[in-house]
Amino acid sequence: MEYRLALIGFGNVGQGFTEILRDHGPRLLEQFGVRFRIVGVSDQLKGSVHDPAGLEPGELLDAVRLAGNFGGVQAVDRGWDGLEMARRSAADVVVELSYTDLETGEPATGHIRAALEAGKSVVTTNKGPIALHYAELSELAAERGLELGVEGTVMSGTPAVLNGMNLLRAAGIERVQGILNGTCNYILTRMEEGSTYEDALREAQENGYAEADPTGDVEGFDAAGKVVILANLLMGAPIGMEDVDRTGISALTPADIEAARDAGERWKLIGALEPRDGGVYASVRPERVPLSHPLASVSGATNAVTYSTELLGDVTLVGPGAGRLETGYAVLVDLLEIQRTAARRGA
């Protein structure tokens, strides 16, 4: 079986995913009987190439590494923006990886809508459209018998979303508590080790954890987006970004970090959902947790989430929360899920 893919956005995640296809394509074919062929890539900075016969992952990566753009890549069509790629490409699945905007959800939401309207399934790691417009987009996908994969929107490739939706929702998820932003956790860990806030943020950017505009990370918007996604997808709570009681980490000083350490505690940016007044109370805030707390030992860009369920009690997942290969892997997980769903339907 073969899926033709069009990538919108070729930053860290797009390149990480393409590296996975370049390096693991034969294994995926052998293990799962599926080949993923990239037929188009559109990136605001690097240009746009499309070839229904397929583009070589290695060639795309080399072009960007050596020239910073797709100018030297052989292609049939060029210059398509994200919307044109979504509409006109020969893809079965559009992989939407453009930058996250948690205020408008654009341009990603437009790309996703256009792809679904053109009869293409969508995989995205982009939190904007899913935190803001999941109900509309998932309904559009369902109406058309298409898939919308969103695993990478929370905890990168650590399987927090599909596990939650497919395997834990039936246990009745009553509360969620987690470290949901890799950049903040990395900064807090490095500050505890003696680094300055600025140096730690720069490292997080260099390592590909931070958003294009890291304000979204350090002010808690990114974690709030993930809390909203988990509330909607796992708890059926239709909350929005404006419902999250949010504080970031930018006001924490080295003295705060030291004071916590002296008291045998550690700062963590905690995202949480809990029942309140017949609804769900959502929050993101820095909290001092004792070293004995299960989340205290989660360090660096690692994330963790505890789902407190009625039937199973607490189930905790710990794993990477950001990073190019780690988030690229989430795209692969969603694509394999699309393949499994198609196989079950006998498509």
Residues designated as active site: 226
- Minimum Å gap between C-beta 342 and ligand HSE is 27
Binding test (CB under 6 A) with ligand HSE, winner from 97, 322, 325, 333:
322
Degrees to nearest 5, angle at CA 316 with 262 and 159:
120
Could you tell me where the DSSP H helices lie in the chain? Answer: 12-32, 57-67, 82-88, 108-117, 127-143, 161-162, 182-192, 197-206, 215-218, 221-235, 254-262, 324-344
> How many residues sit in the footprint of ligand HSE (CB under 6 A)?
11
Site for ligand HSE, residues 15 to 74, rule: CB under 6 A: none
Rank residues 3 and 329 by Cβ distance to ligand HSE and give the closer one.
329
Q: Which is nearer to ligand HSE, 96 or 217 (CB)?
A: 217
Token digits of residue 124: 């995205």
Nearer to ligand HSE, 35 or 202 (CB): 202
Residues in a beta bridge with 149:
123
Contacts of residue 69, defined as CB under 8 A and 6 or more positions apart, other chains included, come to 45, 46, 47, 63
> For the chain, how are helix, strand and coil distributed in percent, rounded to 5?
45, 25, 30
With CB under 6 A as the contact rule, the residue among 158, 183, 189, 308 that binds ligand HSE is 183
Query: At its nearest, how many Å lie between ligand HSE and the CB of residue 246?
Result: 15
CB under 6 A: which stretch of 16-24, 164-172, 180-188, 288-296 binds ligand HSE? 180-188
| String of contacts with ligand HSE for each residue 7-26, x by CB under 6 A | --------------------
CA gap 37, 132 in Å, rounded: 30
Cα(34)–Cα(12) distance, integer angstroms: 24
Identify which range of 23-31, 110-118, 175-183, 271-279 contacts ligand HSE by CB under 6 A. 175-183
Q: Which two tokens stand for residue 61?
A: 């990566």
Report helix, strand or coil for 18.
helix
| Measured distance CA(131)–CA(228) in Å, rounded | 6
Instruction: Select from 31-39, 112-120, 204-212, 287-295 the region that touches ligand HSE (CB under 6 A).
Output: 204-212
Q: Supply the minimum distance, in Å, between the C-beta of residue 222 and ligand HSE.
A: 5
Helix (H) or strand (E) holding 298: none
Neighbour tally for 236: CB within 10 Å: 10
x-or-dash string of contact with ligand HSE, 207-246, rule CB under 6 A = --xxx-----x----x------------------------
Which window, 29-37, 177-185, 229-237, 312-320, contacts ligand HSE (CB under 6 A)?
A: 177-185
> Please, which residues bridge with residue 38 across strands?
5
> Of the candidates 181, 189, 308, 339, which one interacts with ligand HSE according to CB under 6 A?
181
CA dihedral 246, 229, 198, 290 (to 10 degrees): 70
Of 11, 57, 320, 321, the residue at the interface with ligand HSE (CB under 6 A) is: 321
Contact between 156 and ligand HSE (CB under 6 A)?
Answer: yes
Beta carbon of residue 217, minimum distance to ligand HSE (angstroms, whole number): 5
**Where along the sequence are the contacts to ligand HSE (CB under 6 A)?**
156, 181-183, 209-211, 217, 222, 321-322
